[in-house]
Amino acid sequence: MSQNRIPNLDLIRAFAIILVLYYHVTQMLAGNLFTNRTLFYLGHHGVTIFFVLSGFLIGGIYYKKEQVKPSRFWLSRFLRTYPPYLIMLLVSWLSVYIARKENFDFGFLLLIQNFYKEIPYFLVSWSLAVEEHFYLLFALLIWGIKSKKAQFYCWILLAIFPTFLRILFYHEGGEFGFYKTASFLHIDSLATGVVLAYLVQVKKMLVKAKNWQLLTSFAAMIVVFYLISKYENIYTWSFGLALANISIGCWLLFSYYSSTVKLAKSKFIHQTAIMAYSIYLVHPLVIHFCMMLFKKLAISSVYLQYIATIALIYLVSYPFYHVVEKKSIELRDSLLKN
């Protein structure tokens, strides 16, 4: 296990991608292991966990260094994330082109699809667009504001203001696009992570984390997710998501400062965390493939569908990580001499 990784944060990353898998597999496959929609919708919050964790990790990388060049910072993140995204974008488009002659949308190359009223295909890419816009914003703040303390105040504002923007842009329509995916509606999750990173790395904030606090913060987060899912309205979408950011942040901090959880030491959690980005990129296409396969083979068992689909997602993600994502990391490190 890499010495640069924190097992407890790997556990958070693994939990987030497992939530996302549960949500999308349940959503897209025929049948549902849970008839309660609220329980099913819990998985939707895996992306929010990713955002807060990403802000915390990227902020931590920045605050640990004395000086950071904005262009180098942005390029490092771009080379880390864009090449794997580009490959899966092309594969996804080829799939929809074969299936329904869908034209290629060049907005995907610029990562502006999350501002469309409705995203035409490769729907999960909306969160990757939010991440890339976050990296660009981070680099612009480094360039435009030299004081890390002043930057910190900007991140505090960004952690608060989107709550009110979600009220302003609330929309009950069924389209999956702008009103649910625009970057300014989710930047507070990433900003929350950056704020926590500043407190930990610059202010040297210490948190005495005990096992009961870790479990309590996790349980509180799940309760918040449940309530948001059960009572879906303008208030849970705006203030509820803000409360979710806070609950995730508390769980993250307790996890960061606590001793390593036994589950976090498992090879499965470690490997899942490492491959999380690859899993996220490939899983929608694998699910669609499984749907067609199950229909053709007349496989109706929901449990068999779940097991087979999850297994295939991991089988495809493993080579994708080693052949594409890992090579992208190596290319970045080589180009930036990191």
Residue 98 lies in a domain: yes
98 pLDDT band (50/70/90 cuts)? Answer: very high
| Domains of the chain: total | 1
What is the domain range of residue 74? 7-336
* Cα distances (angstroms) measured from residue 78 to each of 89, 109, 154, 313, 323: 15, 12, 23, 25, 18
Q: Mean pLDDT for the chain? A: 92
Find the helix or strand (DSSP H, E) in which 262 lies.
none
Q: Does the residue 38 lie in any domain?
A: yes
Q: Is residue 88 part of a domain?
A: yes
Tell which wins on pLDDT, 338 or 70.
70
CA distances from 311 to 152, 269, 270, 295, 337 (A): 42, 15, 17, 18, 37
Residue partners of 294: CB distance under 8 A and separation at least 6: 29, 30, 300, 305, 308
Report pLDDT for 188: 98
The alpha carbon of residue 98 and the mean position of all alpha carbons in its chain are separated, in whole angstroms, by 29
* CA distances (Å), origin 80, targets 10, 181, 216: 18, 22, 34
**16-25, 143-152, 207-216, range with the lowest pLDDT:** 207-216
Answer yes or no: is pLDDT of 1 > 50.
no
Model pLDDT, residue 52:
98
Rounded to 5 degrees, what are φ and ψ at 198?
-65, -45
Decide if 2 is inside a domain.
no
pLDDT at position 90: 97
Rounded mean pLDDT, 108-132: 96
Which range is least confidently modeled, 1-5, 19-23, 325-329, 332-336?
A: 1-5
pLDDT digits 0-9 by tens, 236-257 = 999 999 999 999 999 999 999 9
Tens digit of each residue's pLDDT (9 = 90 or more) over 45-90? 999 999 999 999 999 999 998 788 999 999 999 999 999 999 999 9
Domain annotation covers residue 197: yes
In Å, how far are 63, 195, 196 from 202, measured between CA atoms?
7, 10, 10
* Cβ-based burial of 103 (10 A; exposed 0-12, middle 13-18, buried ≥19): exposed
Inside any domain, residue 268: yes
SS3 209: coil
Helix, strand counts (H, E) of the chain: 16, 0
Locus of tokens 């309760």: 223
pLDDT score of 173 more than 90: no
pLDDT at res. 33: 56
Q: What is the DSSP letter of 238?
A: I
For residue 1, is it within any domain? Answer: no
Summarize the confidence of residues 2-14 as an average pLDDT.
87
In this prediction the pTM is 0.95
DSSP 86-117: HHHHHHHHHHHHHHH-PPP-GGGTTT-GGGSS
Whether 74 is covered by a domain: the verdict is yes
12 pLDDT above the threshold of 60? yes
pLDDT (0 to 100) of residue 184: 97
* pLDDT tens column, 295-317: 899 988 888 898 999 999 999 99
